[in-house]
Each structure stands twice: as structure tokens, then as C-alpha cells.
Amino acid sequence: MSVEKLFANAPAKTILAPMAGYTDFAFRSICKDYGVGLTVTEMVSAKALVMGNTQTLDLLHRLDNDNNCFCQIFGHEPEVMAECVTYPALAKFEGIDINMGCPVKKIVKGGDGSALLENPTLASKCITAVKNAIGAKPLSVKFRLGVDDDKHAVDFAKMCADSGADFVTVHFRTRKQMYAGHADYTLLPQIATCGVPVFANGDVVSREQYLELLDKGAFGVAVGRGALGRPQIFAEIANNPYQINIPQTIRLHAQSLLLHLPEKIVANELKKHVCFYLKGKRSTKSTVVAVNLAKSTEQILQLVDAYFQEYPQFSEVTND
């Protein structure tokens, strides 16, 4: 499927950037409600999948409305990566994304994620092997500008296109930067000539930035942290009207998680998201502390309701 077709029904060319521990089926579904064009699972290890690790399979749960979702894999062995994408658990996704940007030490040490930025020959083999295995299904690669600097970013993007990627998502930071400093979009116009559509990623939180990045040659944007606690960002970027009721959205998020996960796990997952939903609002400190100490999902929801009963002016957000 062409990238144009993939985004044909999307109100804007937006991706929910993969975030381990956050972009599970429940959060992806909420972002869909606000018009995100494509979502991506949390990253899963190709090797773990091939070895039949059931915990990894749990990360691949989908809801009925989870259309246009890519599964992100990491690895560095072309044969293993090509094998895992043919498994039913992955074949059910609309496309595959390969992680070549993760800066986490453990991942890099294993030769995965951003370690592949240092080995473009192996990275190319991984891309071609996965593309050959998935055939007509779209393949994307997500990578950073480089390890310490951006000297090889344009060549790396070209290599991805030449090796079989249908589009790339570039996090415009180096590995050295981790998540600090700002994304530097200086090279976007050059990277945009790599031969496949480029999604710009890093610090995008507004429609103005989206339009600026399109002007610089991006096909679309991927939004990560800007969507946490603010799934309506995708409606804002698309310039679509929206109305979000925060306590109701949190309840929906919890209910959705409870459909598939044990209550204890749901409570822990929900805590992280609730902190983002409350971020930037007035007098949240005691609620955040209590939420983090809460022992059950119901207790968290009661704390959330109590906060919004006290501050009803923050319940409803709209751009109408």
C-alpha cells in the first residue's frame, strides 16, 4: 500500500510516535478518536518474538478500531527480523516499523536500535530482509539524526529508501542528546529528498509547527510526548473541532485497559497516564501523590473524579 493511500482518510498526516510503556492499545484507540493518521505499537524485540516470549505478545494486543497501526520491531539479525514479521501476531498489523533510533544503553549494547546508525550496511540488510518478508505491506524505519552529530543523517535516510523502506520517521535529535535540548530541523529539506516520504519527529506540539515542517519538505509529523495527556493534539494539528472531557477520557482509558489486562497492571499503567492528563493544571500535587500511592484502578478513578469536581473548569477542553 502506498503511503498516500495509508493516509488517504486521515484528517492530517500525523503519526502517534511509538513510546514504550505508553502507546498501548488503549491509548492508541483514544488518539484515533481525535484523528491521528497512523499509530505504532511499543517496540517489541524480534528475537523475543521468534523465541515465543508471551510477555512480548501481550504488547501486541489490538482493539477493533485499531486500524492503521504499525508494529515496531527492534533487532539486528536480518533473518530473525524477517522471520518474526511473518508470524500471525505481527501479520495482523497494517505495516512494520523498524526501530533504529532507541538510545537506551541496554538496547544499543545488544546491537539494536540506534546501534544500527553506526552500521548502515547491516541496517540496510535488515530493512531489505523485512521488506522482502512483508511484500506489499508498507515498511517504515524510525531513526535519529546520528550518534554524536548529524553528518550521516542524509545518507542514512537515502540508504533506508534504497533498501526498501516505504517511508522514514526521523527524530531530529542525535543519540547523544537523548531527549534533552531541542530537535534541530536544519537538515529536514535535505533529508526530504531521500526518495521516500519523511515524517518529522521531535517537540511537535502545534498545528503551526506541523505546517512549518511540511513547508520544509516533511510529508507529515510524528508526535510523541505532545500527545501524552493531550490526545486532542491530533485534532488541533488537523484544525478540526474537538471536545474532550478529561475525567471521562481517563475512565474510558481504564475501561479499555481492563478489557485485556489484569487489574493490578491496569492501575500501574493508568497512573502514568493520569499524571500526564493532570500536567499543567492547578493544584494537582496532592492528587498526583495520592494517585501514585493508590492500590487500585477504582481508587485512581475516584481521585481523578474528586479533583475534577473541585476544579470543574478543567474537565472539558474544546477548541470550538
Ligand X SMILES: Cc1cc2nc3c(=O)[nH]c(=O)nc-3n(C[C@H](O)[C@H](O)[C@H](O)COP(=O)(O)O)c2cc1C
Q: Which residues are catalytic?
A: 102
Closest separation in Å from C-beta 253 to ligand X: 17
User: Which cell goes with 55?
Assistant: 510477555
Judge whether 170 and 201 are in contact, CB under 8 Å.
yes
When binding is defined by CB under 6 A, the residue of 43, 98, 261, 291 that contacts ligand X is: 43
Judge whether 148 and 175 are in contact, CB under 8 Å.
yes
Q: Mark the segment that binds ligand X (CB under 6 A) among 75-83, 201-209, 212-220, 283-291.
A: 201-209
Q: Mark the segment that binds ligand X (CB under 6 A) among 95-103, 189-197, 242-250, 296-304.
A: 95-103
Count of residues that bind ligand X according to CB under 6 A: 22
Subset of residues 240 to 299 that bind ligand X, contact rule: CB under 6 A: none
Judge whether 287 and 278 are in contact, CB under 8 Å.
yes
Total residue count of the chain as it appears in this document: 320
Judge whether 76 and 116 are in contact, CB under 8 Å.
yes
Given the DSSP bridges, would you call strands 44-45 and 69-74 parallel, antiparallel or unpaired? parallel
When binding is defined by CB under 6 A, the residue of 10, 11, 19, 79 that contacts ligand X is: 19
Q: What is the C-alpha separation between 132 and 213, in angstroms, rounded?
A: 31
Closest separation in Å from C-beta 267 to ligand X: 19
When binding is defined by CB under 6 A, the residue of 17, 108, 157, 244 that contacts ligand X is: 17
When binding is defined by CB under 6 A, the residue of 75, 164, 202, 229 that contacts ligand X is: 202
User: Nearer to ligand X by C-beta: 171 or 247?
Assistant: 171
Please identify the residue of the shown chain whose CB is closest to the bound ligand X. 224
Q: Residue 204 interacts with ligand X (CB under 6 A)?
A: yes
Judge whether 74 and 107 are in contact, CB under 8 Å.
yes
Q: Residue 142 interacts with ligand X (CB under 6 A)?
A: yes
User: Nearer to ligand X by C-beta: 69 or 223?
Assistant: 223
Q: Which helix (H) or strand (E) holds 72?
A: strand 69-74
Q: Which helix (H) or strand (E) holds 34?
A: none
Give SS3 for 195: coil
Q: Mark the segment that binds ligand X (CB under 6 A) among 123-131, 196-204, 281-289, 305-313.
A: 196-204
Q: Residue 20 interacts with ligand X (CB under 6 A)?
A: yes
User: Nearer to ligand X by C-beta: 223 or 261?
Assistant: 223
String of DSSP letters for 227-264: GTT-TTHHHHHTT---EEEHHHHHHHHHHHHHTTS-HH
Q: Residue 191 interacts with ligand X (CB under 6 A)?
A: no
Q: Residue 68 interacts with ligand X (CB under 6 A)?
A: no
Q: Residue 225 interacts with ligand X (CB under 6 A)?
A: yes
User: Nearer to ligand X by C-beta: 56 or 201?
Assistant: 201
Q: What is the C-alpha separation between 275 and 301, in angstroms, rounded?
A: 12
Closest CA to 252 of 22, 27, 24: 27
Q: Residue 224 interacts with ligand X (CB under 6 A)?
A: yes
Closest separation in Å from C-beta 295 to ligand X: 24
Given the DSSP bridges, would you call strands 38-40 and 44-45 parallel, antiparallel or unpaired? unpaired
Judge whether 202 and 213 are in contact, CB under 8 Å.
no
Closest separation in Å from C-beta 100 to ligand X: 8
Gap between the terminal Cα atoms of the chain: 35
Binding site for ligand X (CB under 6 A): 17-22, 42-43, 72, 99, 101-102, 142, 171, 201-204, 223-226
